[in-house]
Structure 1
Amino acid sequence: MFIIVKYGNNETLLCNPSCAVINLLTSIKRRAGYGNSNVIVDLSDETGLVKELDTHKYDYANKYVESHATYILVQKEPVPDNESIADSGSTPTPTVYQYTPLLEQYADLFPNYQLRVDHIEKKPTRKRTGGKSPSPAGRFQRTKDKKSDSAATKKGAKRK
């Protein structure tokens, strides 16, 4: 299994994605010449869809990329916020990122390339009410008292 990563002046890297995402991105960053910088790198496919691999650092990279596919190296930068969170007094909003392709003349090489991010909304989590266990093993079960048990068997015996 391998992927091709394009960057710079149409340079290519051959990479094995059968490893943790953090290892793949670190290797790509080092081999592309960004190893000693604070640049955050990610990959986008040939259409421009950013994979957002750094949000899955400890998963295997081959879950998020296709074998034998070509990817473009992109730089991920946080967009500076105009308001100070401490001054506003509200809850902090999620960080917004800007992506820049690190491949020169990408528009000529990939005419359908439009850089974009596919935002997947997180499913709302249900909060448990009470401190009891949700398993049936922890629930209290009523025991039948002997009088009602014996009366039921007597009625059943008379009907026969």
Structure 2
Amino acid sequence: MFITIKHGDNQQFLANINCSFLLLMHYIRDKAGLERTELIDLCEENGTLKLLFLVKFPEDNANKFLTPRGTYYICRVERGAPGTKHENGYRAFHPVFKHPPLDLIDSLRNQCDFLEKSRLKMLRSQDGKKPPTMEALLSSMAGQVVGKSTGKAGASAASGTDEDGSPRKLTGAAKARMEASRKDKHR
């Protein structure tokens, strides 16, 4: 169960994912010449982030998060400056690759913007309640990635519009689910 990791000036190496997530991340940092404290993530060749820096249980097996025989790029995670009100914010994801494809950079930028907007939206909706959980961020991110990967039909299904952009009529069951979902959000 190996994956290919790309980094640097068109360099790559194999990594065994049949180990703990923590061990794999230390191995990747060592092989790529990064500091052990540096916050990194992996993204697929199409730019989809794996959000590994948000993993709660580093002792979990790495094959839970990564696909065998997959190819991944190393990305640096840039957060806000420590000690400021933006320290938990997402500033950017930078591929650790000399000449990354332009669509990869665009995808990383879009995901970073989405994560930051979701984080801020959750903070505003919490208003004095406990801070948002990482599971909530991950689930909202998963919905966004699935919508983009399915194309126009997937995006229109999520937005409640037909493929031509006109509003879709809801059946009784779909309408009830939508109302229940709205009520849950406002609690």
Cα deviation, residue 84, structure 1: 4.7
Are 2:73 and 1:76 aligned? Answer: no
Q: Which runs of 5+ in 2 are unaligned?
A: 116-134, 140-187
Aligned CA RMSD, in angstroms, stands at 2.6
Percent of paired sites with the same residue: 26
The match for 1:121 is: 136
* Alignment of structure 1 residues 10-159 onto 2, 5 Å: 10-35=10-35, 38-56=37-55, 57-80=58-81, 84-85=84-85, 95-97=88-90, 98-107=92-101, 112-113=103-104, 114-115=107-108, 116=111, 121=136
Number of residue pairs aligned between Structure 1 and Structure 2 = 111
Task: State TM-score, norm by structure 2.
Answer: 0.52
Q: Report the Cα offset of residue 104 of structure 1.
A: 1.1
The one-letter amino acid of 1:73's match is I
- Residue 40 of structure 1: CA displacement? 1.6
User: Larger C-alpha radius of gyration, 1 or 2?
Assistant: 1
Question: Structure 1 residues 84 and 29, CA, compared in 2 at 3 Å: closer, same or farther?
Answer: closer
1:66 shift after superposition: 0.6
Where structure 1 has 5 or more consecutive residues not aligned to the other structure, the ranges are: 86-92, 124-160
Shift of 1:19: 1.1
String of CA shifts for 1:119-158, please: whole Å, max 9, x gaps. Answer: 56268xxxxxxxxxxxxxxxxxxxxxxxxxxxxxxxxxxx
User: Judging changes above 3 Å, is the alpha-carbon distance between structure 1 residues 84 and 2 closer, same or farther for their aligned structure 2 residues?
Assistant: closer
Greater RCO (Cα-Cα under 8 Å, separation 6 or more): 1
**For structure 1, which segment, 96-105 or 23-32, has the greater mean C-alpha deviation from structure 2 after superposition?**
96-105
Change in Cα spacing, 1:15 to 1:80, as seen in structure 2 (3 Å) is: same
What amino acid sits opposite 1:63 in the alignment? Answer: K
**1:94 Cα deviation after fit:** 7.9
Q: Which runs of 4+ in 1 moved over 3 A?
A: 117-120
Give secondary structure in 2 for the equivalent of 1:25. Answer: helix
